[in-house]
């Protein structure tokens, strides 16, 4: 199964080492992927490639646009990832996920080696993205099982390449990512809040209103939201609004002002500024890039 990747990747002066890289096919011709073994089974889960990386400052990789979900789990040291438009620390025992169709960047911090594993998906605008209403941005995660699964997949792809074994290792890789990005199951009250909010994104939501839905105090809701999602309730509301706006921009011909109102912004200009900080593009540019990508695929 061919997996199409459409990104522009910029490397700053860097010292990095990618190991155990496995790719779904040979459609991506970037130099660092050239020697990576192929496991076509990755394509069954829409995974483009996965692997391990060791990096030191001033390593920085910036992508102008993700064509699929990007998952990163830190094994050692501390690095930074561009999340919701700002740089956030990702240290050992933590992981983060970035949704499709936004700008993305990672960079090492001074003072040590940053080791992490990653899984990169390829998703079209017509497919269901891996990131959902309940998916966290950044939270605790045990990365060692995922690391072992990537190493097992790489070893098998480099040796006898048993189809059954490759499928088993691939399923494990995907399952570990799902364990992070699937809806948070720890508290039904949070699911109730985000289900209601996501149905009425144009409402003027306040923290008080969301706390009433959850039947808890404002502070308790804030703590649970940060713990499970890596965002405060108001930050997650913004994420939900902008993610839905991105889907509307990519899949409809609605005017920008109409989309802004549908996701809770009375001012088209305020919406444009927030969307630009989140995605890296103005809404009109974002729509044009989506249309161009559709024509090129």
pTM above 0.95, yes or no: no
- 181/100 Cα distance (integer angstroms): 13
Percentage of residues in the chain with pLDDT exceeding 90?
Answer: 60
Average per-residue pLDDT for the chain? 87
Nearest by Cα to 93 from 76, 110, 108, 80: 76
Q: Whose structure tokens read 């695929």?
A: 297
Nearest by Cα to 49 from 61, 36, 58: 36
Q: Whose structure tokens read 């990007």?
A: 70
The per-residue pLDDT for range 115-126, each reduced to its tens digit, is 999 999 988 766
Q: Could you tell me the pLDDT band of residue 183, with boundaries at 50, 70 and 90? A: low
Q: Could you tell me the pLDDT band of residue 207, with boundaries at 50, 70 and 90? A: very high
**Max mean pLDDT range (7-21, 100-114, 255-269):** 255-269
Residue 30 to residues 22, 26, 187, 224, 250, Cα–Cα distance (Å): 13, 10, 43, 41, 27
The per-residue pLDDT for range 220-274, each reduced to its tens digit, is 999 988 888 888 999 999 999 998 998 899 889 999 999 999 999 999 999 999 9
Query: What integer pLDDT is reported at residue 23 of this predicted model?
Result: 96
**Domains annotated on the chain, with CATH:** 9-181 (2.60.120.280), 188-296 (1.10.10.60)
Query: What integer pLDDT is reported at residue 78 of this predicted model?
Result: 96
The per-residue pLDDT for range 61-98, each reduced to its tens digit, is 988 777 789 999 999 999 999 988 889 999 999 999 99
- Residue range 6-26: average pLDDT? 71
* Secondary-structure percent of the chain, ordered helix, strand, coil, rounded to 5: 40, 25, 35
Query: What integer pLDDT is reported at residue 230 of this predicted model?
Result: 83
């Amino acid at each position: 199964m061919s997996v199409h990747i459409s990104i522009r990747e910029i490397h700053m002066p860097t010292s990095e080492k990618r190991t155990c890289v496995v790719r779904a096919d040979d459609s991506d011709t970037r130099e660092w992927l050239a020697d990576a073994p192929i496991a076509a089974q990755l394509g069954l889960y829409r995974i483009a490639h996965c692997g391990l990386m060791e990096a030191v400052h001033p390593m920085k990789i910036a992508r102008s646009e993700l064509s699929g979900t990007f998952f990163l789990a830190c094994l050692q040291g501390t690095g930074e990832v561009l999340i919701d438009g700002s740089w956030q620390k990702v240290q050992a025992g933590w992981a983060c996920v970035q949704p499709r169709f936004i700008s993305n960047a990672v960079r090492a911090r001074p003072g040590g080696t940053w080791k992490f594993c990653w899984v990169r998906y390829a998703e079209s605008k017509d497919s269901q993205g891996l990131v959902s209403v309940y998916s966290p941005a950044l939270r605790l995660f045990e990365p060692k099982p995922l690391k072992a699964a990537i190493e097992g997949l790489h070893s098998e792809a480099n040796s006898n390449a048993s189809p059954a074994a490759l499928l088993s290792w691939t399923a494990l890789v995907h399952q570990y990512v799902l364990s992070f990005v699937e809806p948070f199951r720890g508290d039904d009250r949070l699911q109730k809040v985000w289900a209601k909010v996501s149905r009425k994104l144009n409402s003027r939501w306040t923290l008080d209103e969301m706390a009433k839905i959850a039947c808890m105090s404002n502070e308790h809701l804030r703590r649970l939201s940060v713990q499970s999602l890596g965002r405060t309730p108001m930050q997650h509301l913004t994420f939900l609004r902008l993610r839905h706006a991105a889907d509307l921009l990519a899949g409809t011909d609605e005017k920008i002002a109409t989309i802004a109102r549908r996701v809770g912004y009375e001012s088209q200009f305020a919406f444009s500024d927030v969307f630009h900080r989140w995605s890296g593009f103005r809404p009109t540019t974002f729509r044009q890039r989506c249309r161009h990508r559709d024509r090129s695929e």
